[in-house]
């Protein structure tokens, strides 16, 4: 089977060669509440990024499986750059966040194991399918990746523009999330282009993006609750109280608000293009000065 749809043109307006960047983060001095006086906001951002490695490994797996079907050389090159960046994201967060939380007495493994189990179920079912069914599942996986990547670009744009320095945030933790956010903005067109190439149309796209902001909101709350429960300096807040604290933090600028999260629904407009989210020049400029990138380069 081969994908027969033409490559979309959404990358041409801000075209650049994607490449993975080596990074090095030393969080040994970072406090648990790495945004001062913002313990809930600190845990919200940490918890969301804690679960990213599993998703990014699945993205790499899906794109690697899709590569043999792609005949367009420019799209293949973009996919390879995307795979490289997502692999480094997964490795960095898988190394840094458990170390950071573990040093403060918080064990993230139960959350991670649940996601690993779900990912393993998808991987296990594929060999049992016929080639046609496996190809159909691949298209669904690529469509879902495109929807999630749109949301990560929205969040990446937020963190690039959030005044974390003005809030006194730990510079290494800030750099970890800004570096990741900048690369999400930089490669924001790729998953959308791949899904379009494989024939994912408007209604398919709309169906998948509709529940995604709700799922992200739930993931934020659920995983933050898990960390808060292990933080002896905080009460054991329930989901409703955490939601209230999230809204309050977003008004102070330490978390994205619901307006930002649900702006992801711009994806359902027929005229949508990924360049509507974020600014490539801003993202690349940050990546050029990121302390972690410079440190890894020596």
- Encode pLDDT of 14-70 as tens digits: 456 888 899 999 999 999 999 999 999 999 999 887 777 788 888 999 999 999 999
Cα-flanking dihedrals φ and ψ of residue 234, to 5°? Answer: -120, 150
| 3: pLDDT strictly greater than 70 | no
Which DSSP helix (H) or strand (E) runs through 194? Answer: helix 190-197
Cα separation, 41 vs 34, in Å, equals: 9
Token pair of 27 as six digits: 């969080």
| Angle at which helices 239-252 and 39-50 cross, to 10° | 110
Residue 6 DSSP code: P
Q: Which tens digits make up the pLDDT trace of 76-108?
A: 999 999 999 999 988 888 889 889 999 999 988
Identify the band that residue 194 occupies on the pLDDT scale cut at 50, 70 and 90: very high
Cα separation, 191 vs 18, in Å, equals: 13
Cα separation, 169 vs 164, in Å, equals: 5
Q: Cβ(193)–Cβ(8) under 8 Å?
A: yes
* 1: exposed, middle or buried (Cβ count in 10 Å: 0-12, 13-18, 19+): exposed
Write down the domain spans for the chain.
37-296
Determine the pLDDT at residue 202. 86
CA end-to-end span of the chain, whole Å?
45
Q: Cβ(85)–Cβ(180) under 8 Å?
A: no
- Whose tokens are 């970072």? That residue is 30
Cα-flanking dihedrals φ and ψ of residue 237, to 5°? Answer: -65, 145
**Angle made by CA atoms 280, 96, 82, in degrees to the nearest 5:** 35
Token pair of 70 as six digits: 């792609």
Mean pLDDT of the chain: 88
Cα separation, 52 vs 90, in Å, equals: 7
């Amino acid at each position: 089977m081969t994908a027969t749809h033409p490559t979309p043109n959404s990358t041409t307006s801000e075209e650049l060669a994607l490449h993975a960047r080596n990074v090095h983060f030393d969080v040994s001095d970072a406090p648990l509440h790495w945004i001062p006086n913002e313990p809930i906001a600190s845990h919200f951002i940490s918890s969301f990024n804690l679960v990213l490695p599993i998703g990014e490994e699945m993205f790499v797996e899906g794109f690697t499986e899709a590569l043999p079907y792609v005949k367009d050389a420019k799209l293949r090159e973009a996919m390879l750059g995307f795979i490289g960046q997502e692999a480094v994201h997964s490795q960095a967060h898988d190394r840094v966040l458990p170390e950071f939380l573990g040093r403060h007495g918080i064990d993230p493994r139960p959350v991670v194991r649940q996601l690993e189990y779900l990912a393993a179920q998808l991987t296990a079912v594929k060999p049992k399918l016929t080639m046609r069914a496996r190809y159909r599942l691949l298209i669904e996986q690529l469509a879902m990746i495109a929807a999630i990547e749109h949301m990560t670009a929205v969040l990446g744009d937020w963190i690039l523009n959030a005044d974390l320095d003005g809030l006194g945030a730990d510079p290494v933790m800030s750099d970890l999330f800004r570096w990741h956010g900048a690369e999400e903005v930089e490669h924001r067109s790729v998953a959308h282009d791949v899904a379009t190439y494989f024939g994912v149309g408007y209604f398919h796209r709309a169906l998948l993006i509709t529940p995604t902001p709700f799922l992200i909101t739930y993931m934020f709350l659920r995983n933050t609750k898990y960390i808060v429960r292990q933080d002896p300096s905080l009460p054991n807040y329930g989901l409703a109280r955490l939601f209230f604290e999230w809204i309050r933090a977003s008004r102070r600028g330490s978390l994205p608000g619901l307006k930002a999260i649900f702006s992801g629904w711009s994806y359902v407009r027929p005229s949508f293009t990924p360049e509507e989210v974020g600014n490539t020049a801003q993202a690349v400029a940050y990546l050029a000065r990121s302390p972690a990138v410079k440190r890894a380069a020596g």
